[in-house]
Structure formats: C-alpha cells, structure tokens
Chains A and B, each alone.
Chain A
C-alpha cells in the first residue's frame, strides 16, 4: 500500500480535453506552479484515488516531446525528474482523442520511452461513436503494453476506472517499452551515450540525435562544448548512410508501431462521415462570410466590454471615493492621511479599475477558445497578420489592446511561438487604449474644436490619433521581427479542433485566474509606482515660511465654504442683471459697486484653495524636476507645466487631466468627466473650466499662443506613443518573467513618443510659418 503523495503528470496534444480532465479530477484544489527562467506555468491539482493522495501536474499541450525551446524543455525535464522543484512523476497519464488515435498515439509512444509507468486515457469516446469508430480497449491495452481507459472528461465518465488504473500502475511500477527503433539507430545512440561523461538519461541522448536543431541539442552543446556538435553531426551522417536519416527515422518507427496498435483494436467506417464541424466550417472559414462573421463577433465582443465594464468601473470609482471620504472624516490631516488617501486608496482603485475589462475579455476569450472558434479566427486573420511578421494568433491580443493593453498582453498566452508572442507583447501598448481618450478629448476640445473650424475636424483628429497606433504597432512589430527577435520564420501549422460546447465552469475559472493573476502580481507593482509618484508630488509640503500647504488649503476651503451662499446669491443676481429684458418686462436690478467688489473678492477666495494647490505642486520634487527639465521639453513646444503633467502621468496616463487641473489652478479634475455628457454637473463644470484655463494660459505665451494647435497635437502624439502605464509594464514583467522586456518597452516607446512629438511640433511650426 502506498502512503506518500503520488505525483502524476498529465500529458496530451492540444485540444484533447486535457484541461477538462484536469478540472474534473482536481476540482477546486488547484494552484499554479512557476518555473524560473521560463514563461510556462503549470497547474497543479490535488485529488484522492482510493485513499491515496495524488498531486496532478497539468503539462502544456504538445504534439511531441521534441523540445524546441526552454519552455518546452521544462515539460520534458519534469517528466524525467530533472526539475529540482518537482519530484519525478510516478505515473504519466497520456490523454488521447478517440476520433484520431493514429495521430495522438505518436506522443504516447514517446512517453513510453521515459521509463515511467503510463496510463492512456482515451477521451471523447462519444464523438468517436458518433463517427462510427469502435475501439476494443482490451486489445488496445495489449498492443500498447499499458492500460488504456475509455473516458468522457466533459461528463465525468470513466474517471473512477482511470484513477484506479493510475493507482495500480503506480503500485506495480512496471516500466513500459516503446516502439523498437532500427538496430543501427540503437547502436549509434549507445555509442554517443558512452562518449558523454555524465549520466544523461538515454532518452535525452536519443532526442538530441533525432531533433535536429532542437533544444536538447543546444543544451548539450552548451554543456559539452562545440566538439559535441561534431560528434552529433558524424553520428547523424552514420545513420543517414545506413538508410535511417533523422528525423524521418523516428516518425517511421513510431507511426509503424502506432498503425499496428490501431489496426488491432480500432474499426473505422471506410468513408469518414461529414461532421457538424465540417458543415459549420464551410461557413465560418469562408473567406468572405467567415470574415464578415468574425468582424461581427469582434464588434459584439468589444461593444459588450465597453457596455458592461463602464458601470462596474464607475462603481469601483465611487467606492474608492466613499472610502477616501470615510478616511478623511476619521483621520487628522497630515502626511499619513495623504499617503493613505492619495497614495494607497487611489493606487488600489487604479488597480481594481482594470478588473472589469480583464474579466469580461477573458470570459469571451475562454468561450471562443473552448468552443474552437479561436483557431478559425486565427486562420482568417493570418493573411493580414503575416504581413507584419506575426501570425493570425496575434490578432485578438492586438485588438483587445484598443480597450486596454493589460488584458491584451495577458491574452498573448494563446501564441505558442515565443518570438511572435514577445513581438505582440511589445507592440500591444502602442494600440490606442481607452485611457488615452480623456487626454485626446481635452486637447481636441481646447484647440481643435474652435468655433469657425470645420465640424468634421475634431472627429478627424481623434481618428488620426487611433490610426497612429494601428500603423505604428505593425511597423514596430515588423522591425522587431527583423532585428531583435529575428530567427527562423516560425512554422505556422495550426490545428482547427472540432467544435465543442464551452463549459461554464471552465470559463468562470479562466476569468477568475486572469483576475487573480493581475490583481496580486501586477497590482503590487502598480501600487508601489502610484505611491512613489504621489510622494514626488507631495513633498516638500511646507511653503517658504514653514506653513503646511495641506493646512493652508483646508483653511482656504473653509473660508470659501463660509461665504459660499453669499457668493451664489451675488452670482445669480449678476447673471440676472446681464439678461436682456424682454418687451414689457422691467429692467433687472443692477449690482452696486460695493456688491461688484464683494463678488470679485469672494470669487478670489473661492479659487484660493486651487491656487495654493497649484503653488504646492509646482514646488514639489516633481514640479522642480519639470522646471529643470524644461530645455528637454522645448523642442516639443512644451512648457514646464506640460512637462510636469507628462512626467506625473508615467504611472497612469489618465492622471494628466487631473495634474493639468492642479497645475492650471482649477483643482483636481476627474478624467471621466471630460467629454462625458452624463457626468455630474460639478465635475463637468470643472472639466470645462480646465479647457478654458489651458486655452487662456497658452494664449499668454509667445510659443504656445501662436502655435497652440501644433503644441496640442505634439502632446497628443506623445501620449499616443508613450508607455505611460505602470500597470502595462508590470504585466509585461509578469508575462515575460524578465525585467529586461518591460525596460525595453519603456525605453523604445518613450524615445518613439519624444521623436514623434518633436516632429509633430516642428513640422506644424514650419507649416504655420
């Protein structure tokens, strides 16, 4: 009887129902295992097989053990017990598709060489039955030499027999035999093994021999020097002269073995019936109808993201405000309260606000992937995407980035090719995300949509801003694929799996996992960045005389509040007095001189708090840095205020609207209120006030007064191209598991933004003369 925990590995081709089986066996007891140096994550689940506790590891779907990258090597090393984090699996479960045993048993035959007991789980027996395929499981087990168990993972059928077979195989510990290779191959492999001094598993030596240019070969050359490559080459030449050239020798030996096993146990109808999948595909992969349906699906998806995420995001925003008010009400003012309210609560809010979009997008992606449509979408979009050196699989991540780059970057996990995935991750932040919209709307409202200018101009400029992302991103992707990420063109072969009904549980789990991964791992980094910028704008918080700014602002606010009623009364009277009386109406009473002076004074008092806030931020560390950096901003046509606002927006670009508000003395402006007709009256008034303040301030300046439009365009181009989003960088870090890639993204995008903004301003200045 076994008492310790059994480690069991689950291996299979993509689209075999591997994840479904994993979820069915382990239920909710799952966690994610990370492996240093690689981007793969493997899920681990726990369950009990007749009193024996089992740890189940879900390996990434693969067609073969021929590893081509460090990511694929992790799976092979794990199966061989060469990863220090995991104990060697006691049993390998090889899951195969009953409708296509010929192909799926190829991987099984490779697993049989690993020296670990194997159990074959034959999934989707219902689909096989529908296609008229019958399988004799007793005979199949006999020819494979290991137990073969029929299951139907989506309905939980056959799981009892499967766990029983796992437990029995672990107890017996019988090591299976894979297919026989030609004698010449065995001899050459043994010879090569002897020449390697250390104790390498024979199976890896064979892999190195057959996988020309594969990762095993590369790893061995790295560890044994270039002379090993010479030995390998001569061994391969020897095989070729004996008529067993690699890699053909492996495919021939294995497929001959598979054919024998299948012939003995499987009967198939002579003519494959036309399946539902074929009928649906004749429409969905059609060049015209398929593309139209795809565009419709995409439109519905993004429409729902905008529609459903907006109220949830607003809810998070008001929740954040409520908590901030609560804290402000209970704590005494000072740096600590400011840290909690403006740093922590604001930071947590800016993390959570991304969640609705991530959850909804991942819900859609999970449904599209589980039902098999994702592969059709990639097929349809491949022609377009191959022009910029990517494949069809990059399309949905890129398009998702128009809503927000974070879910877009997380969605690149569907791209298996590492270089393609990296290129997609690196250009995704260039797509114009929704956080850029308030910036565009503010500046277009202030400088482009002037009375007298053509009515189509604002829309055209907004469209141009989006087009910047749509054109620059593919160009950068192409450049990256030709330089930094150059390599053999990826082999684009993709399987279009049969359509299946998506399972609600699996979809919910994908959404939950994506949300959790973002909140916990990326969230902490975002929070830290938000707090740093808060501190840079907060300190020093005392003016030249040693008085605290927050206190002075509070006093000014109190003073304004006291006089608020009188101010309102005077304002109303003033407005009424300016109205042209209609015929027959009496002339409205005019304001006396004393009242006019009082109104002016009261208005000044009301604006005092905003003015003090502006003065404070100008004297802060970041404000002073902006002042010293003014020469850097000059070629862009910017003054130091625009510079500080841009600097402060590096953790989150929507911050610029609020920062502009503070710097132009109109107080904090809610970016959501800019251009939003449904916003609260007070917020809307502030947003309108900001537009006016920016216009007035720029008019006073010789450069910005004359070249207001080029400056506004320069700021917009900068925001279109710059990576001003700590969350994006944190997610890139998380997804690539390397600090180098977010650093690279930040540097290249900032450089691109600077050059783009400079060109915009200088060309604009030339055109205006």
Chain B
C-alpha cells in the first residue's frame, strides 16, 4: 500500500517508493538520503515534521512530505 509520507504516525517506519515533484527538489532529497528504496522513521509528524533517515535527523515541511510516497513497514 502506497501513501504520502505525511500520513504516517509518530514512530512508524516506511520504505520510500517514489519521490515526485521538481527535478531539483528530487535531486536535493536524494543527496540527503531520501530516495527510492531507503528506509525512514517518522520521529515527529506534522509540519515541519522530523524524520530519521539512516541515523540522521531531517526536518521537512508538510506540503513537501506529501510528495514522497512511502510503503509502511514494521520495525
């Protein structure tokens, strides 16, 4: 099941399926480690939200989170 990242609850893990939007923005996220196939955890939902991406904490705004499609996975 695919869903936008901002639908996840605090503490939930997911695998990134697709990052949509402007190429520059997709590229920027890839540099920071958010790309197809990577795993992340929502530390704090909302806007801006807090994500844990391979041991790194990143913060993103809600509108931008909805452009990232994820597949929820169990820990």
Residues of A within 8 A of B (CB): 63-64, 66, 68, 99-100, 102-103, 106-107, 131, 210-214, 246-248, 250-251, 255, 272, 277, 281, 285, 287, 375, 379, 382-383, 386, 392, 488, 491-497
A493 & B23 in contact (Cβ 8 Å cutoff): no
A251–B43 Cα distance when bound, in Å, is 25
Question: What are 29 residue pairs bridging A and B, where the CB atoms are less than 8 Å apart in the complex?
Answer: A63-B31, A63-B32, A64-B31, A66-B27, A103-B32, A210-B27, A211-B24, A214-B24, A247-B26, A248-B30, A248-B36, A251-B27, A255-B30, A255-B35, A277-B57, A281-B43, A285-B50, A379-B50, A383-B47, A383-B48, A491-B24, A491-B64, A492-B64, A493-B64, A494-B59, A495-B32, A495-B58, A496-B50, A496-B57
Given contacts A247-B27, A495-B32, contact A213 B22 (CB under 8 A): yes
Chain A hits for B64, CB < 8 A: 491-493
Kindly state whether residue B44 has any CB partner on chain A within 8 Å.
yes
Chain A hits for B9, CB < 8 A: none
Kindly state whether residue B33 has any CB partner on chain A within 8 Å.
yes
B56 & A103 in contact (Cβ 8 Å cutoff): yes
A496 & B59 in contact (Cβ 8 Å cutoff): yes
Residues of B within 8 A of A (CB): 22-33, 35-36, 43-44, 46-48, 50, 54-61, 64
Given contacts A247-B27, A379-B48, A383-B47, contact A103 B59 (CB under 8 A): no
B59 & A382 in contact (Cβ 8 Å cutoff): yes
A281–B10 Cα distance when bound, in Å, is 14
Which chain A residue has the least Cβ–Cβ distance from B34?
A: A493
A103 & B30 in contact (Cβ 8 Å cutoff): no
Chain B hits for A212, CB < 8 A: 22-24, 27
A494–B57 Cα distance when bound, in Å, is 8
Chain B hits for A102, CB < 8 A: 33, 54
Measured CB to CB, the closest approach of chain B to A276, in angstroms, equals: 13
Which chain B residue has the least Cβ–Cβ distance from A494?
A: B59
B54 & A285 in contact (Cβ 8 Å cutoff): no
B28 & A493 in contact (Cβ 8 Å cutoff): yes
B58 & A491 in contact (Cβ 8 Å cutoff): no
A248–B57 Cα distance when bound, in Å, is 23
Chain B hits for A494, CB < 8 A: 58-59
B54 & A382 in contact (Cβ 8 Å cutoff): no
B32 & A100 in contact (Cβ 8 Å cutoff): no
A251 & B61 in contact (Cβ 8 Å cutoff): no
A497–B32 Cα distance when bound, in Å, is 13
- Seed contacts A102-B33, A287-B46, A383-B47; 19 additional CB < 8 Å A-B pairs: A64-B28, A100-B54, A106-B31, A212-B24, A212-B27, A246-B23, A247-B23, A247-B30, A251-B35, A281-B43, A382-B59, A383-B48, A392-B48, A491-B64, A492-B59, A493-B28, A493-B58, A493-B60, A494-B58
Given contacts A379-B48, A383-B47, contact A272 B35 (CB under 8 A): no
A100 & B27 in contact (Cβ 8 Å cutoff): no
Pairs A-B, 7 closest by C-beta atoms: A212-B23, A251-B30, A496-B57, A247-B27, A63-B31, A64-B31, A103-B33
Measured CB to CB, the closest approach of chain B to A66, in angstroms, equals: 6
Chain B hits for A68, CB < 8 A: 24
A99–B56 Cα distance when bound, in Å, is 9
Which chain B residue has the least Cβ–Cβ distance from A489?
A: B63
A251–B34 Cα distance when bound, in Å, is 10
A248 & B26 in contact (Cβ 8 Å cutoff): yes
* Interface hub of B30, B32, B46 (most chain A Cβ within 10 A): B30
Which chain B residue has the least Cβ–Cβ distance from A97?
A: B56
B30 & A285 in contact (Cβ 8 Å cutoff): no
Which chain B residue has the least Cβ–Cβ distance from A386?
A: B61
A212–B27 Cα distance when bound, in Å, is 9
Chain B hits for A99, CB < 8 A: 55
Chain A hits for B32, CB < 8 A: 63, 103, 493, 495
Chain A hits for B24, CB < 8 A: 68, 211-214, 247, 488, 491
Which chain B residue has the least Cβ–Cβ distance from A286?
A: B44
Chain B hits for A375, CB < 8 A: 59
Measured CB to CB, the closest approach of chain A to B4, in angstroms, equals: 16
Chain A hits for B50, CB < 8 A: 285, 379, 496
A100 & B61 in contact (Cβ 8 Å cutoff): no
Measured CB to CB, the closest approach of chain A to B57, in angstroms, equals: 4
Chain B hits for A103, CB < 8 A: 32-33, 54, 56
Chain A hits for B25, CB < 8 A: 491
Chain A hits for B26, CB < 8 A: 247-248
A251–B28 Cα distance when bound, in Å, is 10
A475–B68 Cα distance when bound, in Å, is 31
A246–B23 Cα distance when bound, in Å, is 8
Measured CB to CB, the closest approach of chain B to A671, in angstroms, equals: 42
Given contacts A211-B24, A386-B61, contact A100 B30 (CB under 8 A): no
Chain B hits for A107, CB < 8 A: 31
A285–B44 Cα distance when bound, in Å, is 9
Chain B hits for A277, CB < 8 A: 57
A495 & B57 in contact (Cβ 8 Å cutoff): yes
Chain A hits for B43, CB < 8 A: 281, 285
A214–B61 Cα distance when bound, in Å, is 22
